[in-house]
Structure 1
């Protein structure tokens, strides 16, 4: 099992909430468990699911312009 804590920070936009919501919507189409928090999203699954989810989240967010994304990975039992 792999888990990741992800935060997306859109840059140079007045629509940060829309960018983040769009990225989370893309994540919802992946076969991965996730929980949205106030400043980050927690993702759980096997290695392929988590890495794919992270990639989809980033790809969707960057469509709108520049973004920073901070990810912490763990394979520890939770």
Structure 2
């Protein structure tokens, strides 16, 4: 079991909230647990689910231009 805290930071845009929301919504298409917080999104699942979720979020966000992503990954119980 893995868990990840993911934060997306769109660059050079006035639509950051829309980009972040769209990126997070890609997780609803996956069989993965996630919880949206005020500064980051917490993702829980097996290794493949979490890594796939992180990639989907980043791929969606980068479609809108330059983006930075901060991820903290843990395999410890939370």
Q: TM-score, normalised by structure 1?
A: 0.98
| Partners of 1:25 and 1:77 in 2: CA distance | 25
Unmatched tracts of structure 2, length 5 or more = none
Question: 1:16 is matched with which residue?
Answer: 16
Kindly provide the CA deviation profile for residues 5-52 of structure 1, in whole angstroms up to 9, marking residues without a partner as x.
Answer: 000000000000000000011111111100000000000000000000
The count of aligned residue pairs is: 78
Question: 2:63 is matched with which residue?
Answer: 63
Q: CA RMSD in A?
A: 0.4
Question: SS where residue 39 of structure 1 aligns?
Answer: coil
Unmatched tracts of structure 1, length 5 or more = none
Q: TM-score, normalised by structure 2?
A: 0.98
| Partners of 2:31 and 2:54 in 1: CA distance | 12
